[in-house]
Amino acid sequence: MDNNATTRVAPEVLEVMLPFFKDKYGNPSSIHSFGGSVKKHINTAREQVASLLNAKPSEIFFTSCGSESDNLAIQGFCREHAGNTKLITSAVEHPAVRECCRSMAGNNIPLHEIGVDNEGLLDKEMLGKISMDNHTLVTIMWANNETGVLFPLQEIAEMVKKRGGIVHTDAVQAVGKIPVNLQDVPLDMLSLSGHKLHAPKGVGAIFIREGINIAPLVYGGHQEHGIRAGTENVPYIVGLGKACELAAEHMEEENTRVRAMRDRLEKGLLESCKDAKLNGYPEQRLPNTTNISFEFIEGESILLLLNEHNIAASSGSACTTGSLEPSHVITAMGVPDTLAHSSIRFSLSIYSTEKEVDIVLRDMPDIVDYLRRLSPFVKE
């Protein structure tokens, strides 16, 4: 129930990766055929990623993860446009974007954070009031990792492009779950991560549209056309390519069977658990994600008891990192403290089953009732 945190590696992905650990281990930059023959598999993977995004293979560059891709987009743009850059982002971004932007702001780069309403929808009016030019980078996530709320990226991108800005999106949670067509959506850069769509951890990619220039973060060899130096992680790149191919095949399942399971889970929890509230806009959401608050109890306590029932979920609160502060996403939505501290995210995948949903629906009400009896905030 925590597939937004990571997903299992698809069996088909593992199968195509294995030869590159044993038999096809050559360096793709080598001039000899043993290494050079590996290069074609990287090219195939690049085509597979590009196909899922409806982009050109030449616009796809491999990285180690989504966080690196985000940092490459933001820091790379700021370095390329040194002295003139302006950054615009949202108040609910993943830390990979949020902390990177704030780091750049510490270097005297102007930063604007756009707020959201109580359903997690972006304040587009505020975005429209900020001046932009070709030194302005707007980095807005496609889908929120905690609530699953989708931002209207096509509308946002068109607005920014008309005003001269450059657009990047952290699409780590969106790619593989909803259709992404970069011929229709005028984005300049897009980040994705392998382990969110059934590839292994340790591989990601960034789309950089032709004509957009950014400075690299890692200098060295000529790999990835000079955008990202370092010998390519061939097995994982091959695995990412296969995962993207499979994601295209399973897109309909994500948006029908998985969505139906998510809806059944969500409806059941809201009906069976008193004082439960959905966080996020009900309609414009990822098909696999629900975020629910259970008023008057701590999210950490819920997670610990779920874990005793062998159920893995995630809290919208940062309390598991030693802080009792609620998630910045939930806070930005104006959720009251009594609800913000108790938000729990359930996120499914194509490997989730109806039986697993049944188990959560069976055990969660008892967990909530037990914690409510212990809560000093609940009056009999």
User: Catalytic residue numbers?
Assistant: 319
Q: Residue 302: left (phi > 0), alpha (psi -120 to 50), or beta?
A: alpha
Give the Å distances, CA to CA, from 289 to 144, 257, 259, 281.
10, 13, 8, 11
- Rounded CA-CA distance 51/56 in Å is 8
- Looking at the DSSP assignment, which residues form a beta bridge with residue 289? 347
What backbone phi and psi angles, to 5 degrees, belong to 13? Answer: -70, -45
Q: Which helix (H) or strand (E) holds 277?
A: strand 276-278
- Pairing mode, if any, of strands 166-170 and 136-139? parallel
Alpha-carbon torsion (216, 218, 222, 227), positive or negative: negative
Task: Give CA 134 to chain center in angstroms.
Answer: 26
What is the distance between the alpha carbons of residues 2 and 173, in angstroms, rounded to a whole number?
Answer: 12
Residues making up the chain, counted from first to last:
380
